[in-house]
Structure 1
Amino acid sequence: MTASALDSAAATRTLPSLGAFAGRLRGRLEATEDSATAAYDRIMRRLGISIGIAGAIIGVGELPEVAEQGSYASVWWSVAAVALVFGWYPIIAVVAAVSGTKAIKFVCGCAAVSFLGALATIPLGFDMHTVDATNIWPYRLTALAVSAGVLAWSGRVTLVYLLAASASAAVATVYTVAEVTPQHIIENFLRSAGLAALFLWCGTAATGAAARVDRESAIASRRAAAQAAALARDRERARFAALIHDAVLSTLLEASRAGAESDVVRRQAERTLEQLDEYRGAERDPDLLDARSALLFLRSTVQEINPSIRFDTHTWHGFDDLRMPVHSASTIAAALSEAVRNSLRHASVAGREVRRAVTATVSAGSIRIVFSDDGAGFDLAAVSADRLGISMSILGRMRQLAGGSAFVESQPGEGTTVTLVWGGDGSR
């Protein structure tokens, strides 16, 4: 076999392996996200990857300056300083891509502290006033270190770090640079602190906005759950009132009219007592929705977004036995809402109307929701793993729900189908 054939065979074996690894990595990303902090986790990952890649690129760009100023310093210090200042950033990029928020915070904190460590060791590697430059090379990396601190700590802690890092960089310049003036010192501090403050503001604004999105999403979910629970309680009250009116009062009325023992009244009274026993013995948890309440809740969710979307229901024998927790109904409603909004945003086709429909199928212990459109469709393989709409808001939500699962099917030009399944016994 020729060398080119061997290379081709190796590439053929490698591509499926890479595809399988990417699939596992994507699944891990989806599994590690929490719907309660989805937006915050997403922005932390993206900022972590961006800062990590930026730090690695800047490190490569700074190597000529490091080598030039290294002639004034001990070799061990130059090597150690490069490792302390730049070594954490490739790790940050990798951790942000494959792990969660806690790990990102930890490695970013290590990067920020290591930068201070590099500044603190400058007197050990340099003689005083020996560097023929306007400042020492770590000085220019202050803003990068502050950016890492933004992901690691709260805004107040990062602000303290910014002042400490900027002051330390200015002091390091005073110690190492050959010619220093008070004006030079002040300018260095203000320039370093000002640039770092810009990065601090941008990072804090981004993470704060993501946290607010998560809070508003949680509030909306709790409101929807409360509305669903209130609807279930109202239905139970109406059901009990109907039983009292139709059975109990009518039996008492017939008994008062009969004036004597009657087989008809006796049988009616026995049946009324059986109905009361059934009602008392049945599970009447206000946090559980029956089939009709769950369907009404899901139908209202869709119609609030777009009243023109058709909502069909199919029931199997025993569907009245369905009891769905309010939390489960709210999760399904949130995933369904995201599917509908995605379709309205992205499925439009020029020159024709896109048809959309929801079909709900209910059995004794499960419910299946299928949303479909005949719109533009898309290539599932081309969707990035960190896209919140599909990976978290639909698939992730349902995967975290006990007894829940979800499937998305789509092809360019062939529309999209989103299937949401819930089974109360935890089966998929």
Structure 2
Amino acid sequence: MIASSMLDAPRSALFERLRAHGGRVEAPVREPTLGVAASDRIQRRMGLVIGIGGTLAAVVELPEILSESIGVSIGWIALTMLLTFGLCPVLAVVSVRMRSQVIAAVAAAAATGFLLASVVAPFAYRVPAEDMASLWLYRLLVLGVLMAVLAWPPRYAVAYLILGSTVVTIANVFVVQRVSTWTVVGDFSRAMGLAALFLWCAIYARAAAARVDRESALESRRAAAVAGAAARDRERARFAALIHDAVLSTLLDASRAGTESPVLRRQAERTLGQLDEARGGDIEPDLLDAQSAIGFLRVAVHELNEGIDFSARRWPGFDDLRLPVAAASAIAAALAEAVRNSLRHAGVPGQVVRRAVTVTVSAGGIRVVFRDDGVGFEMGRVSPDRLGISVSILGRMRQLSGGAGFVESALGDGTTVTLVWGSDG
């Protein structure tokens, strides 16, 4: 049985929507997600361009393919074209909406299909053509190489380039008449040289996107660190001024007066009021914007374990978020405690436990979800003296104005910890 805990909190608009929809809000604006945004965008755009380009190539090359395939069975023509172009429109479609893993899988299948088509070609074109200068597959090697760049790491894409150049050159030998050693060497060199140019451009584009991702992650960490340091410095200065101007002067007047006086009483009451306001954080709160808040939480997680997946989503108006540093610190501390609990207790013998943090930001608040697929537990059986959940997570979020915390877990089904903060305005 799934056990959950809910805490009372001020009912901001964001908080109400999160409780009503389980954290799902209409019309999301998808990330760019920190750490993967540029890589994800370049992969999607390359997949869309390559998919559309391959589909157009099939239409443009069809008359030439048919003229070169006189005497070849229509079944062989259909098979080679299906292996070469069949997945191109599929790649274009999945590149619009699907995850990067799906795009890579479709591209890998398309690249493999091109190699298979080149292997099949000599069986289809059994009689060398008299007027054919080169097999149509030889001219489309670039398509297969671009698919390989989209699907695999650079070293495998380079290996595909060498293998593909070899296979299409051999297929050309079987299909084209008047072949000599020099023509074979020339065909291989031309095929590999032209495809290598496109290979280098595609690899460079993906590497540049990866560099942008790394710099964005570093910049967000710097922004969070600078914001936190500035907030601490301002807080120290504010308390130093309060101690000097109010507390010390009150104590000094009290030591001099020797007897009770209305002026001293009013001064003491005013000082106590200032201390209460300072403790409540109502004086000039330091605020983090969406980027700094996400970076702040990312650092809190990755300081404990850099292998935990961290992603962020932004809803409409996320630029308007202003998260007090005190609230960010409370959320980060509760999140860190959830991560520590998972690292200590969620392990399953012989199984790799997956852990992930998802931060969702909107104009009025922030929602943080930590999930693992570990051993799980039953909330009702947690000992009262175990303070990690009741105090360090739920209790901390209860004390945070506008905050709430939820814990869901079941034996064998992992654990989900949800932390929500919403502004009152």
Is the structural similarity TM-score above 0.5? Answer: yes
Deviation, 1:274, is 6.3
Judged with a 3 Å threshold, the aligned counterparts in structure 2 of structure 1 residues 200 and 329 are, in CA distance, closer, same or farther, namely closer
Identity %: 43
Q: What's 1:198 paired with?
A: 197
- Residue 425 in structure 1 maps to residue 422 in structure 2: yes
Query: Matched residues in 2 for 1:361 and 1:154: separation?
Result: 38
- Determine helix, strand or coil for the equivalent of 2:52: helix
Q: What's 2:65 paired with?
A: 66
Query: Matched residues in 2 for 1:363 and 1:78: separation?
Result: 62
- Determine helix, strand or coil for the equivalent of 2:30: helix
Judged with a 3 Å threshold, the aligned counterparts in structure 2 of structure 1 residues 363 and 37 are, in CA distance, closer, same or farther, namely closer
Judged with a 3 Å threshold, the aligned counterparts in structure 2 of structure 1 residues 160 and 36 are, in CA distance, closer, same or farther, namely same
Q: What's 2:136 paired with?
A: 137
Query: Matched residues in 1 for 2:143 and 2:69: separation?
Result: 21
- Determine helix, strand or coil for the equivalent of 2:216: helix
TM-score normalised according to structure 2 size: 0.58
Match of 2:361, as an amino acid?
A: L
Query: Matched residues in 2 for 1:172 and 1:361: separation?
Result: 60
Deviation, 1:51, is 1.6
- Higher helix content, 1 or 2: 1
Q: Which runs of 5+ in 1 are unaligned?
A: 1-26, 285-289, 299-323, 340-359, 365-398, 406-422
Query: Matched residues in 2 for 1:229 and 1:66: separation?
Result: 65
Judged with a 3 Å threshold, the aligned counterparts in structure 2 of structure 1 residues 96 and 426 are, in CA distance, closer, same or farther, namely farther
Query: Matched residues in 2 for 1:267 and 1:113: separation?
Result: 84
Match of 1:49, as an amino acid?
A: L
- Determine helix, strand or coil for the equivalent of 1:199: helix
Deviation, 1:185, is 1.0
Q: Which runs of 5+ in 2 are unaligned?
A: 1-26, 298-313, 325-358, 366-419
Match of 2:163, as an amino acid?
A: A
Query: Matched residues in 2 for 1:241 and 1:103: separation?
Result: 57
Deviation, 1:173, is 1.7
Deviation, 1:267, is 6.7
Q: Which has the higher contact order (CA 8 A, sep 6+)?
A: 2
Is the Cα–Cα contact under 8 Å of residues 220 and 295 in structure 2 kept in the other structure? no
Judged with a 3 Å threshold, the aligned counterparts in structure 2 of structure 1 residues 227 and 254 are, in CA distance, closer, same or farther, namely same
- Residue 88 in structure 1 maps to residue 87 in structure 2: yes
Q: What's 1:409 paired with?
A: none
Query: Matched residues in 2 for 1:101 and 1:254: separation?
Result: 69
Q: How does 1:4-403 map to 2 (within 5 A)?
A: 30-31=29-30, 33-34=32-33, 36-127=35-126, 130-132=128-130, 133-259=132-258, 272=271, 276=275, 279-280=278-279, 282=280, 293-294=286-287, 326-327=292-293, 400-403=360-363
Deviation, 1:167, is 0.9
Judged with a 3 Å threshold, the aligned counterparts in structure 2 of structure 1 residues 145 and 161 are, in CA distance, closer, same or farther, namely same
Tell me which moved more, 111-120 or 218-227: 218-227
Deviation, 1:101, is 3.1
Is the Cα–Cα contact under 8 Å of residues 81 and 118 in structure 1 kept in the other structure? yes
- Determine helix, strand or coil for the equivalent of 1:239: helix
Is the Cα–Cα contact under 8 Å of residues 41 and 101 in structure 1 kept in the other structure? yes
Match of 2:212, as an amino acid?
A: V
TM-score normalised according to structure 1 size: 0.57
Deviation, 1:198, is 0.7
Deviation, 1:100, is 4.2
Aligned length: 293
Query: Matched residues in 2 for 1:95 and 1:64: separation?
Result: 28
